[in-house]
Amino acid sequence: MKTGAWSLAIDFGTSNTAAAETRPAGGIQTLPLAHQSNLMPSAVFVRSTPVRSLDDLAVGDAALNAAESVPGVFVPAPKRLIGRPSVAVHGSPLPAVLPAAAVIHAAYRRALTQHNSIPPARVVLTHPEAWSPDMIAVLIEGAALAGIDPASVVTVSEPRAAVHYYTRTAAPAPGAAVAVFDFGGGTVDEAVLRATASGGFEVVTARGDNSLGGKNFDALIRRWAETQLADLNPDLAQYLRGSAPEHIRAVRALEESARRAKESCPMPRRPQYSSPVGRGAKTCSSPGTNSRS
């Protein structure tokens, strides 16, 4: 259990959320937000409507698991809702800030367990460079709903945060340009920043593509696998097209296998994937790809 003043940074991503903390002894370390990973899926599952508190929203792996039984109340990417007033869930409007608040709350709660429930002196929230002040305000409101003191919140754009971190031990000369390429699970963002004489960075240009990310490559591998299964085991291929909960679980297992195959590249050169159903299960080599999310 850690004590002493500390700071927390939360990167609320489209597909996954990450967090880091300052250590009392100095330095920065990432926080484990899931049992086996530092990343937590940004997904949210609405347990009941109307939503009366954040306890009515499941987050992360719990949301993914619950979505297998009731996919209609599943919000896979709350970050995409920022800028909209609400999203319809079971015919009822759900304020877009609530799923974001639930994700931030899950990360914040996990961080507090590492510090004897002592709140951080500062909480840094990152956001895309292109977000408007109104969208950033929604992020801050979500933090407040998550129990974070708004006075402790600082926001910084994602490319600025990245360039400050990666140049902290070797500051570039004033006027030098730095390119940031952020290829995430659900989006890709690029920015060019220029170092200033004061030690900061100004953004020269920033662009993003909300339709491209690591999950696009996952989908390509999954479709390739489904094509192979159609030849190897037509019954299994047909099974994966079902809509029952057990079929959805099988599809999720195939998607997870596709993700692991992608992340194992380039070694081995032809990664292995397994079909998710024991009956007639198959293992095949997938086509090469060197993309990571």
Nearest alpha carbon to residue 138 among 77, 80, 64, 75: 80
CATH superfamily name and code, 7-158: ATPase, nucleotide binding domain (3.30.420.40)
The reported pLDDT for the residue numbered 3 is 62
Q: Give the rounded percent of residues in the chain with a pLDDT score beyond 90.
A: 48
The reported pLDDT for the residue numbered 271 is 47
The reported pLDDT for the residue numbered 293 is 44
Structure tokens at 171: 């500051």
Residue spans per domain, the chain: 7-158, 170-209, 214-285
pTM across the whole model: 0.78
- 249-273 confidence digits (pLDDT tens): 787 788 878 877 777 766 444 445 4
- 87-130 confidence digits (pLDDT tens): 888 788 999 999 999 999 999 999 999 888 999 999 999 999 98
Regions of the chain with pLDDT less than 50: 267-271, 273-275, 277-293
Contacts of 280 (CB under 8 A, 6+ apart): 233, 235, 236
How far is Cα 98 from Cα 100, in angstroms, rounded to an integer?
Answer: 5
**CA 211 to centroid of chain Cα atoms:** 15
